[in-house]
């Protein structure tokens, strides 16, 4: 056997083993229900990942709801796109700036409570296949919203509904009820090197 053939044979055996492992995993996963996903961590990619899932869901004609709990004064690209091209997506925003901009806890809480009503309605409506609650973790961290009420609404959502929560932190109680948690780690961020946030990339 030539060196090249040996390498090909070794690759084939490794792939066969891998396939058997993957097939066994697929076979073992037999539960059909929506999932609760938390995208957290200090790195870039939480909100954009959530919007990637929205695109996936829309590809299958699924009903999608989005509630954004914190936003800058600047309109985001995802917001503009959904507003102009996806009227079927129900989209709500807290509409205030970042918390360090407003510097007013009482008005932040009032805005959070108003916004939570939209989220709660989606989480109790089985017409929604996917609900994205962008930056919800800060509402728990800053104690703007009642943690138990949030956890209860997430837990008791329709069985087929998936929910994606984004934001740093969120706490142990939230993590305990989520099915999938990914932590985006900051290895580097251009901003730290003085590069301005880019339209279409960062917002
Ligand atoms: P994105 O919306 O790009 O997926 P994100 O949701 O993971 O980012 P957020 O904490 O919501 O991150 O911050 C939103 C904005 O802040 C984005 O413009 C993003 O590029 C920027 N950002 C994210 N992480 C960092 C970081 N570690 N340092 C500086 N800026 C960051
Ligand atoms: Mg984000």
Alpha carbons 81 and 13: distance in angstroms, whole number: 46
Determine the Cα–Cα distance for residues 153 and 122; give it in Å rounded to an integer.
10
Using the predicted structure, report yes or no on whether residue 98 has a pLDDT greater than 80: no
Which residues hold their Cβ within 5 A of ligand 2, which is an ion?
Answer: 46-47
Domains and CATH numbers, the chain: 34-193 (3.40.50.300)
**How many residues are recorded in the chain?**
203
Over residues 116-130, the pLDDT tens digits come to 999 999 999 999 999
Among the bound ligands, the one closest to the CA of 42:
1
Would you say the CB of residue 44 lies under 6 angstroms from ligand 1?
Answer: yes
Tell me the pLDDT tens digit for each residue of 115-172.
Answer: 999 999 999 999 999 999 999 999 999 999 999 999 999 999 999 999 999 999 999 9
Q: Give the confidence band of 97 by pLDDT, cuts at 50, 70, 90.
A: low
Q: What gap in Å lies between CA 40 and CA 43, rounded to an integer?
A: 8
pLDDT for the residue 77? 92
Distance CA 103, CA 80 (A): 27
Ligand index nearest the alpha carbon of residue 76: 1
Residue 126: what pLDDT?
98
Residue 178: band (very low, low, confident or very high) from pLDDT cuts 50, 70, 90: very high
Residue 5: Cβ within 10 Å count? 9
* 180-183/36-40 β-pairing: parallel
Ligand 1: residue whose CA is nearest its atom 22: 44
β-strands 90-93, 180-183: how paired?
unpaired
How confident is the prediction for the chain on average, in pLDDT?
A: 92
CA of 13 to the centre of ligand 1 (A): 42
Atom 17 of ligand 1, nearest CA residue: 202
From the CB of residue 77, how many other CB atoms can be counted at a distance below 10 Å?
15
d(CA 66, CA 177): 20
Q: How confident is residue 61, by pLDDT bands cut at 50, 70 and 90?
A: very high
Say yes or no: CB of residue 48 within 6 Å of ligand 1: yes
Note the ligand closest to the C-alpha atom of 68. Answer: 2
Substitution site in 44, 79, 197 for ligand 1 pocket (most atoms within 8 Å of beta carbon): 44
């Amino acid at each position: 056997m030539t060196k090249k053939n040996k390498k090909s044979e070794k690759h084939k055996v490794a792939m066969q083993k891998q396939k058997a492992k993957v097939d066994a995993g697929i076979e073992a996963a037999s539960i059909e229900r929506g999932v609760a996903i938390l995208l957290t961590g200090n790195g870039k990619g939480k909100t954009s990942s959530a919007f990637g899932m929205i695109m996936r869901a829309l590809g299958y004609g699924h009903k999608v709801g989005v509630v954004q709990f914190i936003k800058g004064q600047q309109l985001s690209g995802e917001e503009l796109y959904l507003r102009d091209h996806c009227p079927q997506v129900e989209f709500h925003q807290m509409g205030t700036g970042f918390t360090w901009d407003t510097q007013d806890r009482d008005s932040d809480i009032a805005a959070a409570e108003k916004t939570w009503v939209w989220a709660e309605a989606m989480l109790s409506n089985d017409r929604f296949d996917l609900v994205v609650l962008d930056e919800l973790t800060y509402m728990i961290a800053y104690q703007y919203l009642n943690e138990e009420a949030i956890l209860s609404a997430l837990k008791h959502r329709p069985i087929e509904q998936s929910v994606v929560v984004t934001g740093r932190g969120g706490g142990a109680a939230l993590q305990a009820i989520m099915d999938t948690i990914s932590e985006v780690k900051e290895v580097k961020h251009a901003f730290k090197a003085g590069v301005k946030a880019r339209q279409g990339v960062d917002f």
